[in-house]
Amino acid sequence: MTRASGTSGIWRQASAVALGIAVALLIAGVAIAAYNERAYTMQRADEASVQARILAAAVTAALAFEDREAAQEYVNALGANPEVEAASVFDAAGLPFVTYARTAVLAVSSADGFAGPAVSPADGFAASPADGFIDVTAPVVQGGIVLGSVHLRSVTEPFAARLERYGGIALLVTMGVLVVVVLGAAHAALSRANAELRQQASALAEAYQKLKAETEERERAEEALRQSQKMEAIGQLSGGVAHDFNNLLQAMSGCLRLIERKAAVPEIRPLIEAGRQAVDRGAKLTQQLMAFARRQALRPEPVDVEGRLRGMSELLARALRADIELRMELERGLWPIEVDPTQFELAVLNLAVNARDAMPDGGRLLVEGRNLTLSSDLGPQGLGPQGLAQELAGDYVRLSLTDTGQGMSAEVLARAFEPFFTTKGVGQGTGLGLSQVYGFARQSGGTAHIDSTPGQGTSIVLMLPRCLATPAPGGPEPASAAGPGGGRRLLFVEDDPVVGAMMASAIEDLGYVVTRAVSADEALALVERGEEFDLLFTDVVMPGTASGLDLAREVRRLRPAMPILLTSGYNEGAQAGKEFPLLPKPYRVETLADALANLAEGPRVVSS
């Protein structure tokens, strides 16, 4: 635009110059006309004076010897010249000697005008131009003797006729001025149009840039949406598989337990142990899968992030190698978050292990935590796809773990959160670490994303929503030792026949008297019938009109003193976990024994 204005400045100058030229032309035209007029007048005066001199020379003798006839002839001869309006000869005394006048009217006026010599004869010659006339006086001298004077009145061209003559020049000048003015105006208009065009072009370019940026933004958002949909699909698929698989593992775990008890042959103990370990590993895998699928039963509680991380530093240091420096930069007064502490710790540990593996030659792991408030209209830098900005508006604790390792390529980055996607060698990793992190973050109401540059390192960012509640101090309580059932009556509700049968015998082995039900309705009927139970242990998700949670609520209403333990492989259990103790599936018999023992003691602890 500055260039455009500069150019238009030049054009403005050009039009000013054109105007100047036009004015100069006008002035020149007027000057030429004035000069011509003056030259014409002077020429006519010269001509008239020459004629007067000739007449003066001719009439000398006639005047000297008063031959009016001869003088009149001389004077009348002048009448042949149409420009001579009147001519007179005066004698030495200044009296008219002879007079010639073309018209009678002029004769009178000339007689008035020539009543006496307009100039004294000694002046020699004088011309006085009046409008339309040039009066010339010349002395009549012979041999130095002044004999009289001659007056001549010559008509000049009338002003109108002269104007006509100058009309040609005026027309030319006017045409020239007109052409210059028109050219100037055309230039000005053209320059204005040019400036407008330039402006439009630049506006168009701007609009194009904006459109391009918007298109790119949209593409990014679509890519993010696709990624998110992909993750969702994978999550559903793996969640479903993991759940069924979990039940199978539960059954296998029970079977192994029974085999161990029924066949007291020492040789098979190692086999049983190997089988149990395999089941454990499988259980862990399904657990992580379900964590990714957001189907794990979380027990969210307010967590003090700083305290949690400080408490984990020992654990992290052990997970990392000696050649890796661990630094924590945590903002003072970090907001509390509401997450499952165990899953939180697992996520941090997973990230630390990944960072360690990304830095085979050592490096630095930086754990940063700070408070962040996202507005809904802006997607701040480093928060992932902008499409998430709307969804993520609010207060967050931003937790990032940044390593100085190999970094990730774009392809790896795109798939890093997918379950079973791993860059590690066979047997080195499950491919479920980052997917657990992602699932945990999403399930906790937050998000996770990765910033990575190959060769420079990776930064994994967790955005976890702020929690307004105050976290309970202290870490996880240590599990107490299992105690015997003590012959207490336990109502066990489980729809899966294999799991139900297997677990029922396992619980009986723990010293409980087990009554089985296959649905909440059946269990409720038993309770309502007046059957006495000391404990209720029920699955949450079951076929029938009532869920395990409904059952638990009803039982609490009917028998407020009865301890209740829920179990679930789905995250539907999470809600239940808030109201009742919850044992996530799959669980080991020992874990169940502890939970049951705690449950039995619970009321006592509370009452004491």
Partner 1 sequence: MPRLPRHRHFRAAALALAVIASAFAGPAAASEQSLEYAVKATYLYKLAPFVEWPAHAHDPQTGTIDLCVVGEDPFGDTLDRAVAGQQLGGRPFAVRRMRVLDPRARCHVMFLGGSAAQTADALRMARGMPVLTVTDAVADPAAMGIVNFVVVDGRVRFEIDAAAAAQNGIAISSKLLDLAVAVHRGGETPR
| Binding footprint of partner 1 on the chain (CB under 8 A) | 51, 54-55, 58, 60-62, 64-67, 70, 73-74, 77-78, 80, 142-145, 147
Least distance between partner 1 and beta carbon 77 (Å) = 5
Residue placing its CB nearer to partner 1 in the complex, 80 or 264: 80
159-262 and 589-607 helices, crossing angle to 10°: 100
Residue placing its CB nearer to partner 1 in the complex, 79 or 176: 79
Least distance between partner 1 and beta carbon 128 (Å) = 22
Residue placing its CB nearer to partner 1 in the complex, 54 or 248: 54
Residue placing its CB nearer to partner 1 in the complex, 92 or 372: 92
Least distance between partner 1 and beta carbon 104 (Å) = 25
Residue placing its CB nearer to partner 1 in the complex, 58 or 98: 58
CA dist 120 and 190 (Å) reads 69
CA dist 230 and 325 (Å) reads 36
**In this structure, are residues 184 and 15 in contact, taking their beta carbons and an 8 Å threshold?**
yes
- Residue 515, SS3 per DSSP: strand
Cβ neighbors of 273 (< 8 A, separation 6 or more) are none
Least distance between partner 1 and beta carbon 49 (Å) = 13
**In this structure, are residues 450 and 460 in contact, taking their beta carbons and an 8 Å threshold?**
yes
Closest CA to 370 of 387, 347, 395: 395
Least distance between partner 1 and beta carbon 133 (Å) = 20
Residue placing its CB nearer to partner 1 in the complex, 144 or 333: 144
526-531 own/partner pairs: CB under 8 Å, 24+ apart: 526/491, 527/491, 527/554, 527/555, 527/558, 527/559, 528/558, 531/491
CA dist 303 and 473 (Å) reads 9
Residue placing its CB nearer to partner 1 in the complex, 61 or 518: 61
Cβ neighbors of 374 (< 8 A, separation 6 or more) are 380, 383, 389, 392, 393, 394, 396
At residue 145's C-alpha, the angle toward residues 142 and 148, to 5°, is 80
* Residue listed under structure tokens 């004869």: 121
The end-to-end CA distance of the chain, in Å, is 85
Return the amino acid letter for 181: V
CA distances from residue 410 to 435, 450, 454, 458, 463 in whole angstroms, order as listed: 17, 11, 9, 12, 22
Least distance between partner 1 and beta carbon 92 (Å) = 10
Least distance between partner 1 and beta carbon 99 (Å) = 17
Least distance between partner 1 and beta carbon 114 (Å) = 19
Closest CA to 130 of 108, 109, 150: 109
Residue placing its CB nearer to partner 1 in the complex, 75 or 527: 75
CA distances from residue 579 to 20, 565, 585, 587, 595 in whole angstroms, order as listed: 96, 10, 17, 20, 16
Least distance between partner 1 and beta carbon 41 (Å) = 23
Residue placing its CB nearer to partner 1 in the complex, 100 or 570: 100
Least distance between partner 1 and beta carbon 74 (Å) = 7
133-148 in b/e form (b: 16+ CB < 10 A) is: bbbbbbbbbeeeeebb
Residue placing its CB nearer to partner 1 in the complex, 142 or 453: 142
Residue placing its CB nearer to partner 1 in the complex, 152 or 252: 152
Return the amino acid letter for 64: A
Q: Strands 513-517, 489-493: parallel, antiparallel or unpaired by DSSP?
A: parallel
Least distance between partner 1 and beta carbon 62 (Å) = 6
